[in-house]
Structure 1
Amino acid sequence: MTGGTAQRRGLLAALLLVMFLAAMDSSVTATAAPQIVTDLGDGAAFSWLLAAYVLAVTVSVPLYGKLADTHGRRPVLVGGTLLFLAGSALCAVGWSLPSLIAFRFVQGLGAGAIQGTVQTVAGDLYEPHERGRIQAGLASVWSVAALTGPAVGGALAQYGHWRGIFLLNLPPGLAAVWLLVRRFPREDVQSGTSGPVDWRGALGLLLTCATLMTLLAQGGTAWPWNSVQSCALLTLFLLLVLATARIERQAVEPFMPGWVWRRRELAVPSLALGLLGVIMTAPLLLLPVYAQAVLGLGPVAGAVVLAGMTFGWPTAAVFSSRLYLRVGFRAAALTGATTVAVALSATVHLTLSDASTVPFVAMSTLLGVGLGLLQPALLVGVQAAVGWDGRGVATANLMFCRETGQSVGAALFGAVFNAAGNDGVAVAVGCVAVCEEPVAAGLRYAYLVGAGLAAALMLLLLRMPRMALR
């Protein structure tokens, strides 16, 4: 992708801004739950405010990746951002919880275009030796969004109105659209070989992911994992996987083409990023709970323990390009995976030794370093293995695997945590003295599972071929 320095800086600013908005909206409603339920009622369905958003993002990312390759990056990114802003405006006027959930789905459809296409455009804009710095910027955006999203949502709900959570997106979002239109290099908005849009495949993926998320969200809570309902949903999920795979094989222009999974240099990183998505859910979900229930920290101080990870990730990503340029993508990814395994295993030891807060912050930071070395090596390695006309699909497949992995990880580690004698994460947060032992055991078991998955990730990465830069 061509363009002057000022043009690239303006475009990068727009990319970071829209990515921040999409990332923040994945968690911004959590702390506004009481106010939303009071106004709209139907508290039992509140969890679907997040689930609808995540479902829409997960399903739409592969479709937008294909459209970005066949119709250009700019129309997909600008159109997706406008759809995200339209969904935000509709959420602000939601008159019932079902309507708000539906509008969150619309918002998520726009966020899906943002998440996949921003990473693709970053791959177009910058050479492989520059992408480590850009990945650090994108990782920083995610970190800041993860920390500020709940705080912004809670503050607006307490001191203003929860509808302001969604209206807040409009001014910066419109500014980002203006930058995208002005700064996106016109000569790079090109069309590749295009055919009919694979709507049947998209519908199949939507039904497949919806079934999986219903199983993960309701299993172990609304009904036991070994119940008839869980078995029925699992069977339906497997049948839908087979049906969707058949549709994709028959499609003229599949949104998830077979070559993405037939080429080992693309398939292994995709599976690895899916495992990474599972692993990273454990600290995000459980470490703040441990900090409050066992270490005795308040909500703000407890967030500092997790902030170690959100600091280590972008810091390591800055130096990741130096590492993968020197030793290669596979060795760099293995270094990151090994660091992750060491950090998780060391944290398990800390839970057995009554350690203070500082060692937990240190291991959280080390975990972030491992993730910061691992993800850029996988992402840049895949982007370096394909040309312009396949980069959107390949990048979107990586994002799809990570999003799916995070959904699976939330259910997996939630089940492991509850198996240690806890009654859910939300209950454990408000429980200190009585819940200290089961919370410590829950984190320990979850991190043991995470360390095992990190070991499996290392074995998987040994199958990753050495790749040359393009």
Structure 2
Amino acid sequence: MSYFATMTVYHFHAKEKHMAKRKTNRPLVLIALILSMFMAAIEGTIVATAMPNIVADLGGFSLYSWVFSSFLLMQAITTMIYGKLADLYGRKPVFIIGVIIFLIGTVLCGFAASMGWLVIFRLIQGIGAGAIQPIVTTIVGDMYSVKERAKVQGYLASVWGISSVIGPLLGGFIVQFIDWAWIFWMNIPLGIFGLIGVAKYFHEDISTAKKHIDYIGSSLFLVAISALIIIFVQAGTAWAWLSIENIGFILIFLSCMTIFIWHERKATSPMIPLFLWKDRLIVIANICALSSGMIILGLSSFLPTYVQGVMGETAIVAGFALSTMSIGWPISSTIAGHLVIRIGFRTTAICGGTFLLIGTFLFSLLDPSKGPIYAAVSSFVVGCGMGLSSTTFIVSIQNHVDWNLRGVATSLHMFMRIIGSAVGASFLGGLLNQQMQQYYQKQNVELDVASTDMLLDESTRQTLSQTELHTLQDGLTFALHHVYIGLFIIGIFTFIMCLFYPKIQLEKAGD
């Protein structure tokens, strides 16, 4: 090697080492992370508000659910892959790549000329979104000590609460006075600020050792989880549970997941280290994430329908009843940051499980006479349970594992919540349809599940006779009561799992 080449390599490594030793500007990086988290969080609520206008403009109502499902699908698949890459190559490059992909998808969504193209562009968005939440949470875990970490995770939880309240209002304003494309394009400056803040002010020391990527494991995982999400989205709605299509995807999931587990056992650098599933703390935290994801999805999907269709209230009142959960969540997340220091992780997790138990029990008693205020209070209690438990689980997991496992362990926990939401959508939606159809058959009336649309359309509802109106409302009440009993059972299960959460030390050597 020439002298010039040798000196060039030397200066490159010296500069790289100097960059690694530069101190991270924590306040500026935290602001950048919060902006990035807000960008990803508001996307779900703001798109839901604008969808009627998008359908009116683009058509393709049959693809309505896939606008959301495609985003969820890619987010669920890529979350685990990004987590592993962040442990191998560092948080910064993975975060930057994820945000750039998300912004590309965001720009394209605004230019979508048909519903089909919008679904494809939402897939691209989802690929990027899979990096944002887990890597943001992991960076926070790297920058702060465990005592600081709990408080900062509360700030991040507040972002989701604020976005849930602001999103529908902002989405309504944009589609009414500007154009629906701007619900996507408004995220561009947020993403750019987030990119600049992390790229310039966050510094980390990455090992230069040779990295091994588990391409086979990642591919098997991608196919298996894709099949699983498609089953949750299509089964019970577009497909019968015992249809050829559904059975085919079930077989694909089972075969790929079996091969994936076999492969991970002998892989040099497995995508998901299977020994994580032997750790009691991580297993219980992930099971609780799965069950709490089902609870959140159950409330988000069906509470507005209950308030509008059964109680006869407006969409604004229904939104208020649900938004109280988004208020309770960040408040309790912030409180959890102080509680884990004072009473420990296990006791704080049990407090969260208790609130989830009480909240789901209150919903099991919900009836039209109790009104939207009762529903709002119950929603707030569930939100408190989510804030206390989710913050406790994330912080305890990050405190429990080493740096080189923190990304994949954090991503695995968030992945379990996403899967819980998908399971909840399928299971609770199927239960709702089954119970409603059963009620109409017992009443011997010529109504079906699709007739519920008339309850939710105010102009159509006014054309119904009193008999038809009461029959539809009673059928929806009967079906949703069983859904809320199902949520209560899930709440009991989550509480019991929290009781088995192990006691761990607050501080960890080398944290």
TM-score by length of 2: 0.85
Q: Distance in 1 between matches of 2:377 and 2:49?
A: 27
- Over 3 Å counting, the alpha-carbon distance change for 1:192 and 1:337 in structure 2 is farther
**Mean CA deviation greater in 265-274 or 20-29:** 20-29
**Mean CA deviation greater in 290-299 or 454-463:** 454-463
Q: 1:200 aligns with which of 216, 230, 239?
A: 216
- Over 3 Å counting, the alpha-carbon distance change for 1:12 and 1:148 in structure 2 is same
| 8 A contact 1:32–1:162 mirrored in 2 | yes
Q: 2:481 aligns with which of 416, 441, 444?
A: 444
Aligned to 1:379: 394
Instruction: Describe the SS at the equivalent of 1:265.
Output: helix
Larger Rg: 2
Q: Distance in 2 between matches of 1:429 and 1:400?
A: 33
Q: 1:108 aligns with which of 107, 126, 139?
A: 126
What amino acid does structure 1 have at the position aligned with 2:263? I
Aligned to 1:365: 380
1:429 lines up with 2:466 in the alignment: no
Q: How does 1:293-372 map to 2 (within 5 A)?
A: 293-351=309-367, 354-372=369-387
Aligned to 2:270: 254
What amino acid does structure 2 have at the position aligned with 1:147? V
| 8 A contact 2:49–2:172 mirrored in 1 | yes
Aligned to 1:465: 502
Q: How does 1:90-239 map to 2 (within 5 A)?
A: 90-184=108-202, 186=203, 188-191=204-207, 195-239=211-255
Give the superposition deviation at 1:2. Answer: 9.7
Aligned to 1:33: 51
What amino acid does structure 2 have at the position aligned with 1:399? M
Pairs aligned (count): 466
**CA offsets, 1:289-316, max 9 Å, x none?**
1111222221112111112211111111
TM-score by length of 1: 0.92
Q: Distance in 2 between matches of 1:125 and 1:36?
A: 41
**Mean CA deviation greater in 414-423 or 268-277:** 414-423
**Mean CA deviation greater in 315-324 or 374-383:** 315-324
**Mean CA deviation greater in 309-318 or 203-212:** 203-212
Identity of aligned residues (%): 31
Instruction: Describe the SS at the equivalent of 1:296.
Output: coil
**Mean CA deviation greater in 402-411 or 342-351:** 342-351
Aligned to 1:70: 88
Give the superposition deviation at 1:112. Answer: 0.8
What amino acid does structure 2 have at the position aligned with 1:445? H
**Mean CA deviation greater in 395-404 or 232-241:** 232-241
Q: Distance in 1 between matches of 2:60 and 2:266?
A: 42
Instruction: Describe the SS at the equivalent of 1:29.
Output: helix
**Structure 1 gap segments, 5+ residues each:** none
**Mean CA deviation greater in 227-236 or 59-68:** 227-236
| 8 A contact 2:363–2:488 mirrored in 1 | no
Instruction: Describe the SS at the equivalent of 2:387.
Output: helix
What amino acid does structure 2 have at the position aligned with 1:122? V
Q: Distance in 2 between matches of 1:46 and 1:346?
A: 32
Q: Distance in 1 between matches of 2:431 and 2:132?
A: 33
| 8 A contact 1:59–1:202 mirrored in 2 | no
1:416 lines up with 2:434 in the alignment: no
| 8 A contact 2:35–2:193 mirrored in 1 | no
**Mean CA deviation greater in 257-266 or 242-251:** 242-251
- Over 3 Å counting, the alpha-carbon distance change for 1:427 and 1:140 in structure 2 is farther
Give every structure 1 segment of 4 or more consecutive aligned residues whose post-TM-superposition deviation is greater than 4 Å. Answer: 1-5, 424-428
Q: CA RMSD in A?
A: 2.3
**Structure 2 gap segments, 5+ residues each:** 1-19, 438-448, 462-468
- Over 3 Å counting, the alpha-carbon distance change for 1:248 and 1:99 in structure 2 is farther
Give the superposition deviation at 1:346. Answer: 1.8
Q: 1:16 aligns with which of 27, 34, 40?
A: 34
Give the superposition deviation at 1:36. Answer: 3.1
